[in-house]
Amino acid sequence: MTTFGKLTTSALLGLSLLTSALHADAGKGQRLYQKKLKETCGMTGAVFAAKHTQMEWEEAKENGNLAEMMTEACPEGKNFFESDKFESKFKEHLYDFVHDFASDSGNIPSC
């Protein structure tokens, strides 16, 4: 393999790893819920996610009121949902989690 071929292959592999890390992950959202919210909210992730349908969670995200909807589902987590860290780091992962395990999804998380 030529040097150009090796360099191109390395660049494509690196780029694919970088882009996959930037996408939200429902599994990471589930771990976040378990670690940061389960005890605070006093309910399992299954109960939390099933508070709304996939369409309702999706509309909340599109309208920019996902944090408000999550606060309605878990009033004790209000400070977490209103934090800058939620907005910048956790929002996309928690959205994927609640969307994947919404009441009409047919999926049940293990937390």
Which distant-in-sequence residues (6+ apart) come within 8 Å of 25 by Cβ?
93, 96
Q: Quote the pTM value.
A: 0.75
Q: CA–CA separation, 81 vs 65, rounded Å?
A: 11
pLDDT at 37 over 70: yes
Cα within 13 Å of Cα(50), Cβ side: 13
Q: CA–CA separation, 50 vs 108, rounded Å?
A: 9
Percentage of the chain surpassing pLDDT 70?
A: 81
pLDDT band at 106 (very low <50, low <70, confident <90, very high): confident
Q: CA–CA separation, 33 vs 37, rounded Å?
A: 5
Q: Select from 91, 90, 77 the least CA-distant residue to 39.
A: 77
What pLDDT does 100 receive?
Answer: 94
pLDDT at 2 over 50: yes
More confident residue, 62 or 107: 62
pLDDT band at 110 (very low <50, low <70, confident <90, very high): confident
pLDDT at 7 over 80: no
What pLDDT does 65 receive?
Answer: 94
pLDDT at 14 over 80: no
Tokens (6 digits) for 25: 């992950």
